[in-house]
Amino acid sequence: MLPITRHRRKYYALSTLLAGLSLAAWLVWGLKPGIDFTGGSLLELGFTGERPSAQDVVRTAAESIGGQEPSAQPLGDDAIVLRMPPLDEAAHLKLSDDLKAAYEKDGAVVEERRFESIGPLIGEELRRKTVYAIVGAILAIVLYITYAFRRVSHPVASWKYGACTVVALGHDVLIPVGVFSALGHFYGVEVGAWVVTALLTVLGFSVHDTIVVFDRIRENLARARRESFEEVVNRSVNETLGRSINTSLTTLIVLAAVYVLGGESIRNFVLTMMIGISVGVYSSIFVASPLLVSWHLKESAKR
C-alpha cells in the first residue's frame, strides 16, 4: 500500500508550484482572446500549389476591406487564417472574390474553408457568461458534495469535503489557464468559446474522480474500528488508485489520437482536455483527499 497521505506535503509543494506558475503566467500575460470574446471576423483559406506569404495576403485583404489592416497566421502547410474587424456579408463576398482573383493563377485554387463573424457586444456577453458558467458549476458541485456527504460528520464535517473539492477544482482550472496564457504569449494561441466547454468538462471529470475517492472514504469510515482517520483515507485512496489511473489513461489515449489525427480547429480544445484530465486525476488522489487529513490533524492538534 502506497503511503500517499504520509507524503502529502510533497504533493502540496508540487501543486503549489504549478498553480503559482500558472497564476503568474495568467496575471502577467493573460489569455489571448479570440474573436469569440473580442468580436471580429475570421477567414480561413486553403491554397493548392504554392501558398503565398502571409504578408502578401494581408496587403490584398487590406486593399479589399479598407480600414484596419487584418492579421494573418499560417495554418498547417497549405492554409492561412485572416483575422479582421467584423464584416457584413457583402464585404465578405468582396474579400473572397478579390483573394481568388489575386491568387487563382496557373491552375491554383483558393478554397474558403471557414468564415466566422461575431459582433463586439456578443463577444463581451460570451466572456461574461463564461465566468458565470465556471463559477456557477463550481458552486453547484460544492453544494452537491455537501449534501451527498451530509451524514458523514465524524471526524470531518460534510462541508469540508466540498471545501477540499473546491481547492482541487481551482487547481484543475488554473493550470490549463496558465498553460494557454504562456502559449498565447509565446506562440499567439488564442482562446475561444471552446475553452468554456473544455474547462467545464474538466471540472465534471475531476469532481467525478474525487467523489469516487470520497465515497470510498465514507464506506471505510463506517467499517473502521481501530484505524485512524489518516489510515482510512490512505487505504481508500489506494483502493481507488487503479480505477482512477485506468479511467484517465484510457481517456487520454483517445484524446491523444484525436489531437494527432483530428483537425486543426479542435486541437487546442483537445489539448485543454488532456492537460485538465491529467491534472484532475492528480488532484483527486494527491490533493483533495490528503487535504482532509491535514484539516483533521490541524483541528485535532488545537483540541
Q: Which domain holds residue 31?
A: 5-35+122-302
* Whole-number Å distance between alpha carbons of 187 and 63: 27
Q: Which residue has the higher pLDDT, 265 or 50?
A: 50
pLDDT at 122 exceeding the cut of 90: no
Q: List, in order, residues 6 or more apart from 290 with CB less than 8 Å away.
A: 4, 5, 8, 11, 12, 233
Q: Residue 135: count other Cβ atoms within 10 Å of its Cβ.
A: 10
**Closest-CA residue to 249 (of 205, 203, 201):** 205
Q: Which residue has the higher pLDDT, 39 or 258?
A: 258
> Average model confidence (pLDDT) for the chain?
87
97 and 109 in a single domain? The answer is yes
180 and 232 in a single domain? The answer is yes
Q: How confident is the model at residue 120 (pLDDT cuts 50, 70, 90)?
A: low
Question: How confident is the model at residue 248, as a pLDDT?
Answer: 92
Question: How confident is the model at residue 123, as a pLDDT?
Answer: 65
CB 267 within 8 A of CB 198: no
Range name among 204-208, 238-242, 276-280 with the lowest pLDDT average: 204-208
69 and 169 in a single domain? The answer is no
At 62-88, the pLDDT tens digits run: 888 886 678 888 887 788 988 888 888
pLDDT at 132 exceeding the cut of 80: yes
Question: How confident is the model at residue 40, as a pLDDT?
Answer: 83
283 and 155 in a single domain? The answer is yes
Question: How confident is the model at residue 206, as a pLDDT?
Answer: 87
63 and 170 in a single domain? The answer is no
96 and 133 in a single domain? The answer is no
Range name among 87-101, 135-149, 197-211 with the lowest pLDDT average: 135-149
Q: How confident is the model at residue 302 (pLDDT cuts 50, 70, 90)?
A: confident
Alpha-carbon torsion 271, 273, 276, 280, what sign?
Answer: negative
Last residue of a domain, one of 118, 139, 154: 118
pLDDT at 259 exceeding the cut of 80: yes
Percent above pLDDT 90 for the chain: 34
Last residue of a domain, one of 73, 90, 118: 118
Cell readout for 66 is 479598407
Percent above pLDDT 70 for the chain: 97
Going by their DSSP bridges, the two strands 110-118 and 79-84 should be labelled as: unpaired
Question: How confident is the model at residue 152, as a pLDDT?
Answer: 66
Cell readout for 31 is 489569455
Last residue of a domain, one of 75, 92, 118: 118
CATH number of 134's domain: 1.20.1640.10
Please compute the mean of the pLDDT values over residues 1-20 and round it to a whole number.
Answer: 93
3-state SS, one letter per residue, for the chain:
CCCCHHHHHHHHHHHHHHHHHHHHHHHHCCCCECHHHHCEEEEEEEECCCCCCHHHHHHHHHHHHCCCCCEEEEECCCEEEEEECCCCHHHHHHHHHHHHHHHCCCCCCEEEEEEEEECHHHHHHHHHHHHHHHHHHHHHHHHHHHHHCCCCCCCCCHHHHHHHHHHHHHHHHHHHHHHHHHHHHHHCCCECCHHHHHHHHHHHHHHHHHHHHHHHHHHHHHHCCCCCHHHHHHHHHHHHHHHHHHHHHHHHHHHHHHHHHCCHHHHHHHHHHHHHHHHHHHHHHHHHHHHHHHHHHHHHHHC
Question: How confident is the model at residue 1, as a pLDDT?
Answer: 81
pLDDT at 104 exceeding the cut of 90: no
Q: How confident is the model at residue 279 (pLDDT cuts 50, 70, 90)?
A: very high
223 and 85 in a single domain? The answer is no
Range name among 140-154, 175-189, 213-227 with the lowest pLDDT average: 140-154
Question: How confident is the model at residue 281, as a pLDDT?
Answer: 92
Q: How confident is the model at residue 41 (pLDDT cuts 50, 70, 90)?
A: confident
129 and 113 in a single domain? The answer is no
pLDDT at 282 exceeding the cut of 90: yes
258 and 212 in a single domain? The answer is yes
CATH number of 80's domain: 3.30.70.3400
260 and 216 in a single domain? The answer is yes
**Closest-CA residue to 241 (of 274, 209, 205):** 209
Question: How confident is the model at residue 130, as a pLDDT?
Answer: 79
Question: How confident is the model at residue 78, as a pLDDT?
Answer: 85
User: What is the domain count for the chain?
Assistant: 2
Question: How confident is the model at residue 285, as a pLDDT?
Answer: 92
Compute the half-sphere exposure of residue 278: CA atoms within 13 Å on the CB side of its CA: 13
Going by their DSSP bridges, the two strands 40-47 and 71-75 should be labelled as: unpaired
Q: How confident is the model at residue 12 (pLDDT cuts 50, 70, 90)?
A: very high
30 and 174 in a single domain? The answer is yes
167 and 212 in a single domain? The answer is yes
Q: List, in order, residues 6 or more apart from 263 with CB less than 8 Å away.
A: none
Q: How confident is the model at residue 107 (pLDDT cuts 50, 70, 90)?
A: confident
